[in-house]
Amino acid sequence: MPSRHHDEIAVGSELPRFTAPPLNRLTLALYAGASGDHNPIHVDIDFAKQAGMPDVFAHGMLSMAYLGRLLSNWVPQEAIRSFAVRFVAITHVGDAITCSGTVVGKDDATRTLRIEVNTRNQAGEIKLSGDAVVSLDS
Amino acid sequence: MIDEKHIGALVSRHTVEVEAGRLRFFAKATGQTDPRYVTADAALPVPPTFLYCLEMDAPNPRALIELLDVDIGRVLHGEQSFTYYRMAYTGDRLRFETRIADIYTKKNGALEFVTCDTHVRNVAGEPVADLRSTIVVRNTEVP
């Protein structure tokens, strides 16, 4: 990872975006096991239908983990002060999730940057929306 | 309706050790290939959102659902935030304590919201992170 300094980064800078492979049921099963979130609505279609959903759907926290990668690809994790998202819409099986982030604020007094992040599916629909505060100089 | 008397209630308190195998599995499941998160020659850092998973390693991961007496099939994750104070690594023992911070409704009770605050400390008692999680209980069908 290239070393970055607060003074070199301008508001409007974009983090290198990436798109995860389309989510399939194996992705959701692996995330259920690895995360410890065993809510059956993400892996058991019978349960999902009984709960009034058309199909299983992705854990919101899987997409938030992708956004965590977006951040830690760009700055060392130690620089992340806070990270928050709203789960705007359900992420479905088959969605190819693109993670993006833009520097929207720079505070030279506290030496922090505010980054807006979001995930979108292949149709451009926003699924997660949030922000992170990072500090590069400590 | 979820009873607002639960505001302030202790949901769970537990201590968990960060295991390398679990972090590698998490890296695999989240497409993380950065060597910092998978190679064995140094302690692996707990990635930014994994604290939420360790929180769920409480002896009863459904303590909140049972306390509120809601149907897990109707629960969605609404919001999640993390405030970080120091890094955690494999081998660390972390203490989690979760309390209900707020309970409210929207859309005439069609949606109920429950916010929980979790404080994470290391065994020395130093703050590692604070988590804030809001779940949504849907009392109507969603498309």
Lowest-pLDDT range of A34-38, A49-53, B75-79, B137-141? B137-141
**CATH number of the domain to which B102 belongs:** 3.10.129.10
CA dihedral A23, A90, A67, B46 (to 10 degrees): -90
**Tokens (6 digits) for B125:** 């008692």
* Structural domain span for residue B125: 4-138
* Structural domain span for residue A104: 6-23+63-134
Residue A99 falls inside a structural domain: yes
Residues of chain A below pLDDT 70: 1-2, 138
Q: What is the mean pLDDT of residues B85-93?
A: 97
Q: Dump strand ranges (E) for chain A.
A: 18-19, 80-87, 98-107, 112-120, 126-134
pTM of the model: 0.96
Separation CA A92–CA A59 (nearest Å): 9
Residue A119 falls inside a structural domain: yes
Instruction: Give the model confidence (pLDDT) of A54-67 as tens digits.
Output: 999 999 999 999 99
| SS3 call for A115 | strand
How far is B8 from chain A, CA to nearest CA, in Å?
22
Q: Which residues from chain B sit within 8 angstroms of residue A59, using beta carbons?
A: 77
Nearest CA-CA partner of A58 in A136, A127, A124, A1: A127
How far is A91 from chain B, CA to nearest CA, in Å?
12
Nearest CA-CA partner of B24 in B51, B48, B45, B49: B45
Residue B87 falls inside a structural domain: yes
- Paired with B15 in beta bridges are B95
Question: In this predicted structure, what is the pLDDT of residue B143?
Answer: 44
Task: List the single residue in A with minimal CA-CA distance to B22.
Answer: A34
Nearest CA-CA partner of A98 in A43, A31, A36, A22: A22
Instruction: Give the model confidence (pLDDT) of B20-36 as tens digits.
Output: 999 999 999 999 999 99
Residue A56 falls inside a structural domain: no
* ipTM of predicted assembly, 2 dp: 0.96
Q: Work out the mean pLDDT of chain B and round it to a whole number.
A: 94
* Residue A19, phi then psi, degrees to nearest 5: -120, 125
Residue B86 falls inside a structural domain: yes
Q: Which residues from chain A sit within 8 angstroms of residue B75, using beta carbons?
A: 39
Look at phi and psi of residue B109 and say left if phi exceeds 0, alpha if psi is from -120 to 50, else beta. left
* Strand-strand pairing, B10-17 and B93-106: antiparallel
Residue A84 falls inside a structural domain: yes
Residue A116 falls inside a structural domain: yes
**CATH number of the domain to which A130 belongs:** 3.10.129.10
Question: In this predicted structure, what is the pLDDT of residue B108?
Answer: 85
Could you tell me what percent of chain B has a pLDDT over 90?
85
Residue A77 falls inside a structural domain: yes
Domain tally for chain B? 1
Domain tally for chain A? 1
Residue A106 falls inside a structural domain: yes
Residue A69 falls inside a structural domain: yes
Residue B45 falls inside a structural domain: yes
| SS3 call for B15 | strand
For every residue of B86-118, DSSP letters joined together read S--BTT-EEEEEEEEEEEEEEGGGTEEEEEEEE
CB nearest to B48's CB, from A36, A47, A72: A72
Residue B66 falls inside a structural domain: yes
- Paired with A105 in beta bridges are A114
Q: Which residues of A touch B (CB under 8 A)?
A: 20-21, 27, 30-31, 33-41, 47-48, 50-53, 59-62, 64-66, 68-69, 71-73, 77-78, 80-87, 90, 130
Residue B143 falls inside a structural domain: no
Say whether pLDDT at B109 is over 90: no
